[in-house]
């Protein structure tokens, strides 16, 4: 039986041989929060957006798995 989890999905960007943590790139990066960022021109702190793909383990799974071509 084939295992259907993130490590075998084409949208996962981790180390397929070692496993561990990776990123799910199924959807565009999502906003993770707003943090203060130093503007070096005006020398003032301004709000900045932090965005990224979700970090997921190699053995996690979801309902949108798409098999990767593993070589």
Closest C-alpha to 54, from 24, 11, 32, 21: 24
Q: What is the pTM of this model?
A: 0.72
pLDDT digits (tens, 9 = 90+) for 19-70: 899 999 999 999 989 999 898 999 999 999 889 999 999 999 999 999 987 6
CA distance 60 to 64: 12
20: left (phi over 0), alpha (psi -120 to 50) or beta: left
Q: Where are the domains of the chain?
A: 6-57
> 35 near 50, Cβ under 8 Å?
yes
């Amino acid at each position: 039986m084939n295992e259907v989890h993130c490590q075998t999905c084409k949208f996962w960007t981790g180390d397929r041989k070692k496993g561990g943590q990776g990123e799910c790139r199924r959807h565009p990066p999502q906003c993770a929060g707003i943090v203060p960022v130093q503007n070096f021109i005006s020398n003032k702190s301004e709000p900045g957006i932090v965005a990224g793909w979700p970090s997921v383990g190699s053995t996690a799974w979801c309902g949108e798995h798409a098999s990767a071509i593993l070589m």
